[in-house]
Amino acid sequence: MSTTTTTRSDRRAAICDAVFELLGEVGYDRMSMDAVAARARASKATIYRGWSSKPELVMDAIEHRFGGVTQPPDTGSLRGDLYAQLSTLCAAASGEDGAIFTGLLTAAMHNTDLAQCMYRCAYESKHDMYEAMLIRAARRGEVPEGTSADLLHEVLHAMVTSRRMWQSGPLDEAFVTRLVDGVLLPILRQGQG
């Protein structure tokens, strides 16, 4: 890797880290691209040349932090895959990043550009993962062919997000088990959606 590539990569990492620091400190609405530049010790020109808008900058920071597209867990059973995926999601949602993500979802209700970026990041980028998980489950005979990945994604994320936003209890093993066994598997085995 060349020095120029390393420098760009390091600069991008510093900028993305600055975005998350500021989101945690002041939230989306009060975070500015100029403040990101100052925090990352980058020029304003660097920020504005690299990202056309604050939502795009936030989207890139999320992808940098969470690695973009992920591979689905493959435990050998749909229950195990759901449990592994949901456990990972709940662990992330329980921490500081979960608070930041919840704040972004709240801000997205009033900002169409941010909402579109959040949808791409949290929904579109994960669709193939859920689709692959359900195709494997259908091949094993655990769910009907054509079971909806959209339904799985919507229900799973709605349940985690609402529990996080309402602070209605911990996102712990008991929650994961109840959601997998009591909600997700019964819905998916019906193959509706």
CATH code for residues 3-53: 1.10.10.60
> How far is Cα of residue 86 from the mean position of the Cα atoms in its chain?
12
Alpha-helix runs per DSSP H in 76-148? 78-94, 96-108, 112-119, 125-139
Residues contacting residue 153 through CB under 8 Å, at least 6 positions apart: 123, 126, 127, 130
Q: What is the pLDDT along the chain (193 residues), one digit of tens a residue?
A: 555 555 778 889 999 999 999 999 999 999 999 999 999 999 999 999 999 999 999 988 988 887 666 788 999 999 999 999 999 999 988 988 888 988 898 899 999 989 988 888 888 888 899 999 999 999 999 999 999 899 998 999 899 988 988 888 899 999 999 999 999 999 999 864 4
For 69-190, CATH number out of 3.40.50.2300, 3.40.50.1100, 3.40.640.10, 1.10.357.10 equals: 1.10.357.10
Rounded to two decimals, what is the model's pTM? 0.82
